[in-house]
Amino acid sequence: MKISFKYIIIMFLVALLGSGIGTFSIMSLYNKTNKQNGSVGNVVINEVEYTNIEKNDYTQAIEKAVNTVVEVSCNVRSAGNSFFFFNGGNSTSTSTGSGVIFSSDGYIITNEHVIDGIVDEESIQVKLYNGETYGAKLIGYDTRTDLAVLKIGADNLPYTQFANSSTLMLGQDVIAIGNPLGLGISCSNGIISALEKEIYVNDVYMTVIQTNAAVNAGNSGGGLFDINGNLVGIVNAKKMSSITSSVEGMGFAIPSDTVIRIANDLISNGYVKDRAALGVRVYRANSYYQTSGVVISQVIEGGSADIAGLQPNDVIIAVDDQEVESYADLSKILDSKAIGDEVIVTVNRGQETLEFNVTLQSSSN
């Protein structure tokens, strides 16, 4: 069968025209699709709006807890540098931390070390999550548990719900909410890394919860919450190292069961009631000439030590034959005693070593 050259030319032109129309249609469709999705150069931008995001456990827990966490700040005394301050005077700095709202009528829980060395109560400021700021009054504090209670003049506040810290489990999800570095309220998540962990903080041995949730300076006094948004602890410390500035993943919190008990005592009495005490005030830090033992700074009139015959400047070196080298040692021994227990207190007085039988009374400060 013969096919003329003219017929071949016509068929080629028809095929070429069809190919061009097909290519144009495909490019039109491609450009139309890109325009709908949005495009910049060769980058396609998806403009689909996510309207069905579901709240997960963390979202719901934070939503419940975040409004109950506050920022705390106050002016505190800083040890002066003798090269810059005559007679080694003092300078003033701003201490920033966190707190949690304990009750709807304005009681706030924070750490004692946040307000330690406070210049005056007028400087205490509490900032709520909604931005409102109030002056606060110091109700009471307890150095042995590193807890303090403040009061602001506000009502109908959202307040923290507490979980039972004695039921916590290793590996349980937790959320730390606070004011790290004074930059405002933020959240971090982690797990319970250890329970009933004994640490040494500010000359006191404490039993705390350990977490790997990120905590930094300023988180002190903030909350550690469970996945239900209930408070399991008050954040108070982070492991530090002499080699590096900090150790990551080792934060600590005071258990909620302790927090509730101490806070209620501070609100009711201004101090922790029913705690065995010697009836003395002591210097928490040793001086350059006193490197061992604890020096009595004041004997409380009518207290246990006063009745037994202890005096200011006596150096406590042992209680019931347990050596006392620091305030931490003395605190740990007294924590193991009960009101009414009789203990033998050994002191150095000048060149003499004396022993006193002391019947422990209730703490009143």
Query: Which of 179, 247, 164 is closest to 209 using CA atoms?
Result: 164
Burial class (CB in 10 A: 0-12, 13-18, 19+), 117: middle
Catalytic residue among 73, 95, 113, 193: 113
Per the structure block, which two tokens stand in for 232?
Answer: 């399991």
Pairing of strands 251-255, 231-238: antiparallel
Quick check: helix, strand or coil at residue 172?
coil
Q: Contact at 8 Å (CB) between 320 and 278?
A: no
| Distance of alpha carbon 91 from alpha carbon 85, whole angstroms | 9
Residue 113 known to be catalytic? yes
Alpha helices in the chain (DSSP H): 5-37, 57-65, 112-115, 256-269, 304-308, 327-335
Q: CA–CA separation, 327 vs 197, rounded Å? A: 20
Q: Which one of 186, 193, 220, 304 is the catalytic residue?
A: 220
Query: β-pairing, 43-44 with 107-110?
Result: unpaired
Of residues 146, 265, 314, 329, which has the active-site annotation?
A: 146
Q: Which residues are catalytic?
A: 113, 146, 220
